[in-house]
Amino acid sequence: MPETSKSIVIGAAPEGASDQRSASRAVREMFTSIAPRYDLLNHVLSFNVDRMWWRRTARAFRHILTRPDARVLDLCCGTGDMTFALRGQAGKSSPQILGADFSHAMLQRATAKSSVAQNGSGPGCIPNWIEADALNLPFPSAHFDLVTSAFGFRNLTDYDAGLREIVRILRPGGECGILDFGEPKGAKGALYRIYFKQVLPRIGTMISGVRGPYAYLPASVERFPPPEEMLARMKRAGLVEATWTPYTFGIAGLYRGKR
């Protein structure tokens, strides 16, 4: 039955998935297949604007990151670009920063980046990594001061369950930040949609050699709840002071909330 409203969407549903378990497996397989070229493709396809988005998101939580006793989790961390942006904002402080993802192939590349950072002269702590499912995290309740997710939350097979799990692991007063794609409006939005739905999948497939993930990407963004609905879901999950800040004409945006 075709969808009549985004409000009925539970979570990500890649083509061919028949239930949440098969959808989760399909998402993991997609990201595993593109892991070797993931960073290159992100930078090329976004014209390097993705780096600005990560840094801007990290700056929004500098008041937490500069606390040496802070516990920070970057959820669905992929190869760790958002995680390292958080580390950069920590400055000379050494909060505990952890990146979690359910793709082993992605975490292998994040670990390799850690090795390079460890041998360099960059400031702050070196992130640690854990392979974990965002819907069933191996952490105690009220454990983290900050939970972030950059372009990964959209791929969860149950958005509301993901928000509840974030709330569960946040300490009272802890904050979350979800950075993800949006659908810009107006003439700029129309031009962007042509690029996003027609040009980007072709380039992504050509460079990666894999078609599925870059056909899935625009479909997953179109399926994702619009800001007003996402904010309502955050509030129902137990987050207060929920806000959305658009980045680059609304191509992406940051959702924030507090437990």
Q: pTM higher than 0.75, yes or no?
A: yes
Task: Report d(CA 110, CA 235) in Å as an integer.
Answer: 32
pLDDT tens digits for range 15-39 = 888 899 999 999 999 989 888 888 8
- pLDDT greater than 60 at residue 2: no
Tokens matching residue 171:
């300490």
pLDDT-derived band of residue 201, with 50, 70 and 90 as boundaries? Answer: confident
pLDDT-derived band of residue 48, with 50, 70 and 90 as boundaries? Answer: confident
pLDDT for res 209: 83
How many other C-beta atoms are found inside a 10 Å radius of the C-beta of residue 151? 22
More confident residue, 227 or 39: 227
pLDDT for res 106: 94
Q: Which of 71, 79, 84 is nearest to 117 (CA)?
A: 84
pLDDT for res 179: 97
Residue entry with tokens 């497939």? 205
Tokens matching residue 190:
């129309």
pLDDT for res 171: 98
pLDDT for res 11: 95
DSSP state at residue 173: E
- pLDDT greater than 60 at residue 218: yes
pLDDT tens digits for range 124-170 = 568 999 999 999 999 999 999 999 999 999 999 999 999 999 999 99
- pLDDT (mean) for 50-67: 96
pLDDT-derived band of residue 42, with 50, 70 and 90 as boundaries? Answer: confident
**How many whole angstroms from its chain centre is CA 106?**
13
Select the highest-mean-pLDDT range: 109-113, 115-119, 203-207, 209-213: 109-113
Task: Report d(CA 180, CA 203) in Å as an integer.
Answer: 21
| Element (DSSP H or E) covering residue 149 | strand 144-150
- pLDDT greater than 80 at residue 231: yes
Bridging pattern class, strands 252-258 and 240-247: antiparallel
SS3 (DSSP) at 178: strand
- Which fold, 12-183+225-258? Rossmann fold (3.40.50)
- pLDDT greater than 50 at residue 224: yes
Angstrom CA distances, 255 to 24, 108, 216, stand at 23, 28, 22
Structural domain spans, the chain: 12-183+225-258
More confident residue, 109 or 42: 109
